[in-house]
Structure 1
Amino acid sequence: MKVPIRWLKDYVDFDLSLGALVNRLALAGLEVSGINHWGLPAPEGLRLGAEDPYPVWDKDKIIIGLVTKVDKHPDADRLKLPTVEYGSGRSITMVTGAPNLSVGDTGQKVILALSGSVLFDGHATPKVLKELKPGKIRGITSDGMVCSGFELGISEDHDGIIILEDDAPIGMPLADYFGDSIIEIDILPNKARCLSMIGVAREVAAMTGGKLKPFEHKPHTFGPAITGKVNVVIQDTSACHRYTASLIENIKVAPSPAFLKRRLHQSGMRP
């Protein structure tokens, strides 16, 4: 089971280094078989490091930006020129071919990599880390880039750039926003209670004395009564004392929120 540390801390407070947490989990019968890092450097002395090279997100160069305009490239139909503000009045215009950014767009929160950033090369197979350098693309100087998940090392998707939540803070280093370490735990049959984030959080709380944050979910119901639309009949009230039903209508199929996509990716799933 893959456990992102940021997600785990939503449910339990603990003050252990990553290495100490790995060791305590092992003593509790929860062996950590691997660790992946999203943009963070691997802690020194940690016995389980990342097997393959990965991008470490430079806090001065890989940051959150706001798209203020997108112009058409004068010499290429498929290329665009987004201008991105990244805090304190600073902005930069670059070249991109991202299909999910269109001429005339404005207001999207994106991940900006400035010259000198080290990322995965989106055009190389197998994966290779490459330093981003200024260059001219069809006659236009590009001194940065807006990033896909592939280039950042967090997914295999490089068909489009990452669009962040509307409340993502402009100018914040990406490593501070959602940099993370993900531990992979081998769950044995006698530890089936740990096959969920809350289950692992309970275990961590028990072995560290950390405060467990209660998981509260209160469903909100609204709309007209469903009388006449759904008919519930309890044939044996001694076997079933109570049964409730809800009717959900007008469901809109849409992409998952950005934060949920990240957590699914970190957990080894594709949203």
Structure 2
Amino acid sequence: MNTALSWIKAYVKDLNVSDQEYTDAMTLTGTKVEGFERLDKNLEKIVIGQVVKTEKHPDADKLVICQVNVGSETIQIVTGAPNVSEGVKVPVVLDGGKVAGAHDGSNPEGGVKIKKGKLRGVESFGMMCSIEELGSSRDFYPDAPEDGLYILPEDAPVGMDAVEYLGLHDTVFEYEITSNRVDCYSIIGIAREAAATFGKEFNPPKVKDITPSDETSKLIDVEIKNNELCKRYCAKVVKDIKLAPSPEWMQRRLAASGIRPINNIVDITNYV
């Protein structure tokens, strides 16, 4: 079972420990942590940039020269990404920064250092990133294109830390949950353990009461054929559902736990 530390902190709000301290303490109190992984490993000097101008490369048909506003300045970047256009906002790794992986999905040890240089004679002072270069994949960021830059929402603030914006300043912990600790087979269960381990207040999510109605029984009929196997069956009818992507915060939490976001209906089922 995997959990993101940020999700645990949502229910244990003043939890302030290092990854190793969390691992050691949780293991000592009976919730064995097998290991952990930083999502921002090998991601350095990456900000949100906006492409303000593009022009064709004079000596390469597939390359584009871009002027990119990164907040503090406008820099020139040469790219071969097929989906680059004026106005888009993208993650930009600056000169001297690092990305976690290559566009083919591989993650070299130590990451990939980005330096200013020349592409077919034209200077380039950074790199615009695909989701693979940020160490993730389309499995966990389904809105990312199959080939090209990861386009951020229009309201993404230019110059902001792109790693923070994408929720990657986080750690994913892997647990070995034994069969006698079924209470820990959930995020709430792990958070309750963390609160007890570190002596912090546990703040479970608040669930609103829903007033039952007799409408459900008019729409569906449930028959329990074996009362020994099923003592009670409950159902609720939900109407006017619109199939759409889940909120980004829910997608990020599921992805960090190893669950691919699909849509709001599937994701809500997995989340709950």
In the superposition, relative to structure 1, how do residues 73 and 264 fare at CA in structure 2: closer, same or farther (>3 Å)?
Answer: farther
The counterpart of 1:117, out of the listed 97, 120, 124, is 97
The answer to whether the Cα contact below 8 Å between 1:72 and 1:103 also exists between their aligned partners in 2 is no
TM-score of the two chains, using structure 2 as the length reference: 0.71
Q: How does 1:234-245 map to 2 (within 5 A)?
A: 244-245=236-237
Q: How does 1:33-72 map to 2 (within 5 A)?
A: 33-39=34-40, 54-55=41-42, 57-58=43-44, 61-72=45-56
CA distance in 1, matches of 2:159, 2:102: 24
CA distance in 1, matches of 2:107, 2:220: 56
Which residue number corresponds to residue 67 of structure 2?
A: 83
> In the TM superposition, what whole-angstrom CA distance separates every residue of 1:199-221 from its partner, at most 9, and x where no partner exists?
2111111222222233135599x
SS at match of 1:265: helix
In the superposition, relative to structure 1, how do residues 121 and 185 fare at CA in structure 2: closer, same or farther (>3 Å)?
Answer: closer
The answer to whether the Cα contact below 8 Å between 1:32 and 1:184 also exists between their aligned partners in 2 is yes
Which residue number corresponds to residue 78 of structure 2?
A: 95
The counterpart of 2:127, out of the listed 105, 129, 145, is 145
SS at match of 2:78: coil
Q: Kindly report the root-mean-square deviation, in angstroms, between the aligned alpha carbons of the 2 structures.
A: 3.5
Instruction: Tell me how far 1:122 sits from its aligned partner.
Output: 1.9
The answer to whether the Cα contact below 8 Å between 2:67 and 2:77 also exists between their aligned partners in 1 is yes
SS at match of 1:95: strand
Unaligned runs of 5+ in 1: 40-53, 221-226
In the superposition, relative to structure 1, how do residues 266 and 139 fare at CA in structure 2: closer, same or farther (>3 Å)?
Answer: same
CA distance in 2, matches of 1:84, 1:235: 63
> In the TM superposition, what whole-angstrom CA distance separates every residue of 1:223-255 from its partner, at most 9, and x where no partner exists?
xxxx9xx8345789xx98985412245534x5x
Question: Among the aligned pairs, what percent are the same residue?
Answer: 36
The counterpart of 1:203, out of the listed 182, 193, 203, is 193
Query: Partner amino acid for 2:187?
Result: M
In the superposition, relative to structure 1, how do residues 93 and 29 fare at CA in structure 2: closer, same or farther (>3 Å)?
Answer: same
CA distance in 2, matches of 1:180, 1:207: 20
Which residue number corresponds to residue 160 of structure 2?
A: 172
Which residue number corresponds to residue 131 of structure 1?
A: 113
SS at match of 1:118: strand
User: Does 2:238 align with 1:246?
Assistant: yes
Instruction: Tell me how far 1:183 sits from its aligned partner.
Output: 1.4
SS at match of 1:263: helix
Instruction: Tell me how far 1:114 sits from its aligned partner.
Output: 0.9
The answer to whether the Cα contact below 8 Å between 2:103 and 2:132 also exists between their aligned partners in 1 is no
Q: How many residues align?
A: 238
Unaligned runs of 5+ in 2: 140-145, 225-230, 262-272
TM-score of the two chains, using structure 1 as the length reference: 0.71
In the superposition, relative to structure 1, how do residues 137 and 33 fare at CA in structure 2: closer, same or farther (>3 Å)?
Answer: same
